[in-house]
Amino acid sequence: MAFAMLKIRLMKTASFAVAAVAASLSPVHAQDVVQDAMEAASEAAELAAENAIDRPSQTTAQADNTSPPQLIEFNLLQNKPADYPPASWIAGEEGTVYYELTVGEDGNVRACDIIDSSGFAALDAKTCEIAFDRGQFSAATDEEGNPVAGVHRDFQVWTKREPQFAGTSRIHVQYTLTAQGEVTDCEAVEITGNIGASMRDTMENEPCPGMNRANAPIYRDAAGNPVAKRVDLIIAVEVEDVPE
């Protein structure tokens, strides 16, 4: 049996490193298991958020034959994880804010009005704060192409998302890599500790996501002949605070 252990140390920043720390034989695709699982879990969470609501028209012309204001970059108004109000995060507040921006002739946001509240004042207020701080538009134009004030309607989705490896945790996966390069008999032996819900669901339902790839490397014996191997993969995660 090929054995390997991946130890992932997550400092409380946006980055992490992966290193194989012990192996009698390096497991093929060991890092792919982690990466694909994280991508699958992230995509599932994003898809759920996108399917929760229908996106309305973003811009509204002021009158006939005028052009509405246009965002310079589409994602400028999208909230980032660090935007979540701390008190709202702790309280578990989530919701969708529909709002309307008045955009001046210079493309700057002049006013923010809540059309449909999330039900939480802090999330509504933060939505407008983001719009004032980051909203950059090409101004609306009149029939003659002159810049005029205009209106932009949009929405903000506030959903709590934990890191996939939210704390100290351990994942133990076993699989067979055949002489033909196919991954078979994959099973999750252990999934314990502080693991995000989407990551846990992914690993429980498909512990080897994306492992069967074309032209994947295979194991060979001393004579160079392809051989099958049973791989025992253990992923250990530790999370530590970063000194201020």
106 pLDDT exceeds 90?
yes
Backbone angles phi, psi at 3, to 5 degrees: -125, 140
Residue 29 and residue 102 in one domain: no
Task: Give the pLDDT score at 36.
Answer: 59
Residue 96 and residue 58 in one domain: yes
Question: Is the distance from CB of 174 to CB of 207 less than 8 angstroms?
Answer: no
Q: What is the value of pTM for the model shown?
A: 0.62
Question: For residue 56, what are the contacts with CB-CB under 8 A and spacing of at least 6?
Answer: 98, 153, 154, 155
Q: State which of 158, 176, 191 marks the end of a domain.
A: 158
Residue 202 and residue 229 in one domain: yes
Residue 77 and residue 149 in one domain: yes
Question: Is the distance from CB of 196 to CB of 162 less than 8 angstroms?
Answer: yes
Residue 33 and residue 122 in one domain: no
27 vs 243, more confident: 243
Q: State which of 136, 158, 180 marks the end of a domain.
A: 158
> Rounded distance, CA 168 to CA 240, Å?
9
Closest CA to 40 of 170, 155, 196: 196
Residue 39 and residue 125 in one domain: no
Residue 152 and residue 131 in one domain: yes
Residue 124 and residue 138 in one domain: yes
51 pLDDT exceeds 80?
no
Task: Give the pLDDT score at 32.
Answer: 56
Q: State which of 158, 182, 217 marks the end of a domain.
A: 158
Question: Is the distance from CB of 73 to CB of 136 less than 8 angstroms?
Answer: yes
pLDDT category at 197 given cuts 50, 70, 90 is confident
Q: Provide the mean pLDDT of the chain.
A: 80
Q: What is the mean pLDDT of residues 152-162?
A: 94
Domain of 80 in residue numbering reads as 54-158
Residue 78 and residue 125 in one domain: yes
Task: Give the pLDDT score at 211.
Answer: 72
Four-residue CA torsion sign, 234, 240, 242, 243: negative
SS3 of the chain: CEEEEEEEEEECCCCCEEEEEEECCCCCCHHHHHHHHHHHHHHHHHHHHHHCCCCCCCEECCCCCCECCEECCHHHHCCCHHHCCHHHHHHCCCEEEEEEEEECCCCCEEEEEEEECCCCHHHHHHHHHHHHHHCCEECEECCCCCEECEEEEEEEEECCCCCCEEEEEEEEEEEEECCCCCEEEEEEEEEEEEECHHHHHHHHHCCCCCCCCCCCCCEECCCCCEECEEEEEEEEEEEECCCC
Residue 70 and residue 129 in one domain: yes
Residue written as token pair 């002489």: 179
pLDDT tens digits for 62-101? 445 679 999 998 888 999 999 999 999 999 999 999 999 9
* Domain count along the chain: 2
Residue 27 and residue 63 in one domain: no
Task: Give the pLDDT score at 47.
Answer: 54
| CATH value at residue 99 | 3.30.2420.10
Residue 141 and residue 182 in one domain: no
Task: Give the pLDDT score at 244.
Answer: 81
